[in-house]
Structure 1
Amino acid sequence: MQVMTKRKGRQRGEIDCDRGRTTTMNPNADIVGGACEEVVDILENIPSDTERRAVTDVERQRCIRLRRPASFTIFRSRQRPDEGVSEEEIASVVGEQAAGEEPEEKRRIGVLDNNDKDAIYNISTDEELNPLSNDYIGIIANYFSVGIMVGGSTSLLYPVLIVKGGASASLMTASYAIVMVFWSYKIIFGFLSDCFPIAGYKRKPYIVLGWLFCFGVLVCLALEGNDIDPRNLVIMLAIANMGYVWADVAADGFMVWVAHREPIEKRGKMQTLVYSMNKLGQIVINVLILFGFSGPLMNCPGYIPDPSVPCTNSQAVLNRVDKDLLASNPYGWCHELCSGATFDFDLEIPEFALSICFIIVTSIPLYLRLKEEKADAEPIGGFLQKFWSQLQRRAAWQVILYGMISHITFGVMNAAKMPANFVWLDLHTFQNQLMIIFEKFVFFIGLNLVRKYALNISWRKLVLVGSLFVLCFNSLYFLIIFDIWRDAWFYIFTDVSALFMYTLNFLASHACMVEVAEPGFEGISYSLITTASNAVSPLSAVVSYQLLAFFPLLNDQDSIKADTPEVRKQFASLHTIVIMLNLSSLLSLPLLPRQKKETREMVAKGETSAFWGRFVIMSVFIFLLYSSIATLVTVKYHDVYGCFKILGGGGCSAEESSMPAILLISAVLLYCYGTNFYLFYLPILRGEQRFSWRMFV
């Protein structure tokens, strides 16, 4: 008796289990297609035809490789012996995992058996550590000091540039990006910390050296005096930030090392604790800015405390002076308090810098007391080879790609909002700093609520809910644009509420980093992932002010203050574009693992791809180079090149084309949407995966 099996409609690219196969009851029957021998074995031992068909269907599915319609020949996978898995196979597995299905790769390998899960989920078998003990309290102190520097260097820009200097939207946005630029170079400091121990220690010496460097730059800033040029102030703050970023990277490695000792149910507590302390530090320094920079020197254009000095005749300053004040005292207006000054006293910039220096000096003894095990230095070549093998893991490059794509699209903002808040809402330093304090406080509360109640909720759900609420609150700005409700306190409420919901996004995008960073590579792994995310923050800023090139009325405070129908139309159009770009960040959610266990399972499966590893490295390098040059030129040479559309200006001449700005913005967005499409949505269109809304939750 012969049994012939026949498949109809065989797809190109499949392994046909039945082609040329004739099975008999003779055990020596020839079997064509060795990959499916188990099908024949099962058929020989099942007496029922119905059971034969059922089992054949099941086993046939296990033998089918990826289906690729002929029209997509450009995407055919090429098996590389040195990599083991093709890019198409990886895309398929990622798609299955994202859609909530059990990946074929997971079914094929047995690493996720129940008896192995403890070893997979618990990264370290060492005893859990108390971060508040004397041995590790220095880590907490470091993040508090980082918050002082982050909050101080960024919050100082609004009163100095917008309120006092009347800076353009593009200059303000670029200045913020320059101050934070060394966050994008954390990978360099992570490499130094992990690869070059000092006296046998990887963390403590770098923390201390970083803060001492920051201390030295702040002392130099204090010596510049209170009349320092705003652009030089921005550059010096950026250099000072390099020091504390150096310290922060070493502390990140320490933090990951401690977090690895937490059981999986509690893992995330250490991370949320240190970021809570970071926000607490920002609250403290913003309180100082609130009271120190709400006086006449910052908030009254052209103010001169010495009555013997004549008032300026600069038309740029006179345009920003209160008209009633100018009319009542045309010759002595610069010696009187304006309505924008909340207090009659001021804190000078040197005093502000020395205040931060005091906090740095008092914290150093805590860093020296940190308990750290000694480690031997590794050869650079061997260390980099091991790190490269770590980077090729799907768990690593997938998380990095998510951080980059989501931060680019969700980080684009309406660059015209800051000058508009000043001229439309009369948002002076006092109100702005009060808003920032509220923001940091609710962020601090949000982190602690998440730490207590939401550590094990799906990260995708947190990002989805947080993003939608943030965009809802941001949409309320249309009421301000069309003068339906222009009130500073209304704006403060919407902005603070949006930041509270952003807590969910922040936690989800950072929590997965601890799970991916492997022991022995804590510093460089964590810094690489954060570098990738931070590298695109200046890029988002560049895209934000390049969008102003298409809305020329929004780059200047005077034109926004005119509040014409055309200004409102351009503002509403820009705000709509920004919200749509932010909303599109949710398309990258399938790249984000759902939770800690799923991330550790991805690590345990060990899927690798040299292609995607190189892709990530090249992406980080190109974005970092592009954004750094663009922001530096915008700040340092704003008077010369600030008018160019590619830098957010309205154009240096009537003939200047907008095409360069269009091409650069399009290239950035094509990268984001193209990568997403290739990894997840192309397999769905090709029939290899099925669409599921579970991809986003």
Structure 2
Amino acid sequence: MLSVEKQDKAFAAVNQSYGTLEEGNANGALVKGKSLVLVSIAAIALYSQYFAIGIIYGMLPGLKYPVFNNYLHMEGYQTAAYGVLIYIGWSFKVFLGMLSDCFPIFGYRRKAWMIIGWTIAALALCILTFTPFPKPFCDSHLIKCPLITPSIVELRKNGTFNYYNLDAPNDGFKFILLSVLVGFGYVMADCAADAMVVQYAQREPLAIRGRTQTAVYSSRYIGQMFAQLLIAFLLNGKIYGGSFDFTVTPNVMYGICLIPCVLIIPSTIFLLPEMSSEPTSFSTWLYSFWELLQTRVMWQVVAFKFLNSVFSSFSATPSVPIARSWAHVEPINDSLSGVLGSFIMSMIMVVVGKWGLHWNWRSVIAISTVFIVVIDAFAVFFTIWDIYRNQWFYTGVVLAEKLPDGIRFMVASYCSVEIANIGNEGATYGLITTVSNLATPFASVFYKLVDSIFSVSQTDIARDDQIVRWQVTYCFLIAYAMKLSALVWLFLLPPQKEALQHMKKYGGSSKVAGGVVVGVFFFALAFSVTTNFMSIYPATKCYRIAGGDGNCV
């Protein structure tokens, strides 16, 4: 592992070659060194990493509603599983971060793993782009598709059987698997980029520490908005539940994701500076990371992130089906609301980075969580009980949800910078963000299981009677109760950076607590990955633990 003095010499060489680094104010900085110039070539190259990440991060989830819910007609618990599985790579960030911390390739800890990650994503996207996508569940170009699908006997009787692909909900399985592989690829690149951001951020003085994270994540949300705009206008054809006569196949969308994956590789090689690093002994790294896991500051922040995120991620499986059947949301409006949501997230990054670096973390999370539950419930229950059904009114919920999400995300980022030690930046950042990312698939297992006892399938919701409305209401009431319960765990979160640094210095350590963190992490990871894959696999999707009705005959 390089000493701080050697790292400073390396960064000085980078400064001379690229003119990208400036002297930082050492007052309050966590390590010696120079902070990043935010308008330099190095910074722009780093922004491009996050812009490319944002395109894929916005595109793959954006396909859930128009393609997997409307086009393939998957059930609500299956689209919920898809929404989880395309993010599942984020649950492995700690391991991917470990790779860039411990195993430099040709002397480079970060750039090499970025290139490997982008190559994996590009190869998977090549297959997705050039493999013909399955036929739709109902070809709305040729017939008017009813909300309640007739039986096979009726379809044969009225001569419309050939316009249906009843296997469509199962045909998307391989495309989901390849999308998961894409996720692992670009998350590998993201982990290495995050570690580089942590290194830069730790060199910033206390007064401005956080500006680098704000800049790179704003870039990511710009890329995300770009992808969502493309979905809005290219996947709003009738076959996707929209109103446009013009549309493209899902393969085109995968091809759009492929372009930045290919372009970012030469950018990484030629424009992104990195000092050469000596290999680090894995045993030495593991011992160092285990010591960090035992510290109170680490296990307490990790416990907060996991518990708070599990409860706040508890959702309701009918949310996507009622968007189509009751709110009549067109893909263009669903995507445009996502664009506005991403814009709100980027503005949150700017606001927090400029004025909120010293806000009390507990207070802003509590206020934003209560606010979102009230707004969300207002829009959802008006839609459920047919008081006012409007696609913009319903999709406005997505916008409100971005407020607490953005704040929690930035708090996790700031905590990672304060806790990380030199040499384990990638794994530390990866672990703290991973437990939050892992909480979403873990929570989805439970809300799919809870909602499976209610009658909220696509066919049930299409009936739209009072019984079904009550069934959907129960699902959302349970979800809101769980979201509010997330605030119980705020006592585990230090209120600000100074308190976190004090805990790091004087909080002590516990091997038992460190062991519990490791045990819970591996259990939650294995459990959530297994059960969510069961939700989309044709042979196991019927089990209740996967979100099905339990009828597997």
Q: What TM-score bracket applies, with the shorter chain setting the length?
A: 0.7 to 0.9
- The Cα offsets for residues 578-614 of structure 1, whole Å up to 9 and x where unpaired, read as 1110000001101111111111111122511111101
What's 1:527 paired with?
Answer: 430
C-alpha change, 1:445 and 1:136, in structure 2 (3 Å) is closer
Structure 2 residue 487 is the aligned partner of structure 1 residue 586: yes
What's 1:494 paired with?
Answer: 397
1:148/1:282 contact within 8 Å kept: yes
C-alpha change, 1:653 and 1:294, in structure 2 (3 Å) is closer
Q: SS where residue 421 of structure 2 aligns?
A: coil
What's 2:125 paired with?
Answer: 218
1:401/1:616 contact within 8 Å kept: yes
Query: Which of residues 360, 374, 388 in structure 2 aligns to 1:485?
Result: 388
After superposition, where does 1:455-474 map in structure 2 within 5 Å? 455-474=357-376
What's 1:454 paired with?
Answer: 356
> Structure 1 residue 432: deviation in Å?
1.0
Amino acid at match of 1:429: P
> Structure 1 residue 501: deviation in Å?
4.6
Structure 2 residue 549 is the aligned partner of structure 1 residue 647: no
> Structure 1 residue 136: deviation in Å?
3.2
Amino acid at match of 2:434: T
CA distance in 1, matches of 2:452, 2:292: 41
After superposition, where does 1:236-251 map in structure 2 within 5 Å? 236-251=178-193
- The Cα offsets for residues 116-163 of structure 1, whole Å up to 9 and x where unpaired, read as xx9995311222221431123222111111111111111112111111
1:399/1:513 contact within 8 Å kept: no
What's 1:15 paired with?
Answer: none
CA distance in 2, matches of 1:355, 1:433: 16
What's 1:190 paired with?
Answer: 97
Q: SS where residue 425 of structure 1 aligns?
A: coil
1:473/1:495 contact within 8 Å kept: no
Q: SS where residue 414 of structure 2 aligns?
A: helix
Relative to the length of structure 2, the TM-score reads 0.86
Structure 2 residue 238 is the aligned partner of structure 1 residue 284: no
Q: SS where residue 34 of structure 2 aligns?
A: coil
CA distance in 2, matches of 1:522, 1:509: 14
What's 1:549 paired with?
Answer: 452
What's 1:48 paired with?
Answer: none
Q: SS where residue 135 of structure 1 aligns?
A: helix
- The Cα offsets for residues 237-263 of structure 1, whole Å up to 9 and x where unpaired, read as 111111101101100100100110111
> Structure 1 residue 642: deviation in Å?
2.4
After superposition, where does 1:161-560 map in structure 2 within 5 Å? 161-227=68-134, 229-299=171-241, 340-341=242-243, 343-368=244-269, 369-476=271-378, 477-551=380-454, 553-554=455-456, 556-560=457-461
1:145/1:360 contact within 8 Å kept: yes
1:195/1:383 contact within 8 Å kept: yes
1:469/1:498 contact within 8 Å kept: no
Number of aligned residue pairs: give it.
492
CA distance in 1, matches of 2:203, 2:96: 24
The more displaced of 508-517 and 401-410 is: 508-517
CA distance in 2, matches of 1:413, 1:531: 19
> Structure 1 residue 455: deviation in Å?
1.2
Amino acid at match of 1:257: Q
Q: SS where residue 367 of structure 1 aligns?
A: helix
CA distance in 2, matches of 1:492, 1:418: 10
Q: SS where residue 128 of structure 1 aligns?
A: strand
> Structure 1 residue 164: deviation in Å?
1.1
2:27/2:206 contact within 8 Å kept: no
Structure 2 residue 40 is the aligned partner of structure 1 residue 133: yes
RMSD value, Cα? 1.8
Structure 1 portions without partners, runs of 5+: 1-117, 300-339, 655-697
From the CA coordinates, give the structure whose radius of gyration is larger. 1
1:161/1:167 contact within 8 Å kept: yes
> Structure 1 residue 649: deviation in Å?
2.0
Greater relative CO, 1 or 2 (CA 8 Å, sep 6+): 2
CA distance in 1, matches of 2:407, 2:552: 45
Relative to the length of structure 1, the TM-score reads 0.68
2:78/2:536 contact within 8 Å kept: yes
C-alpha change, 1:119 and 1:222, in structure 2 (3 Å) is closer
Amino acid at match of 1:561: A
What's 1:602 paired with?
Answer: 503
What's 1:570 paired with?
Answer: 471
Structure 2 portions without partners, runs of 5+: 1-24, 136-170
> Structure 1 residue 653: deviation in Å?
7.3
1:256/1:514 contact within 8 Å kept: yes
1:173/1:541 contact within 8 Å kept: yes
What's 2:29 paired with?
Answer: 122
What's 2:512 paired with?
Answer: 611
- The Cα offsets for residues 454-498 of structure 1, whole Å up to 9 and x where unpaired, read as 111011111111111111111111111111111111112333123
Misfit runs of 4+, over 4 Å: 118-121
C-alpha change, 1:522 and 1:463, in structure 2 (3 Å) is same
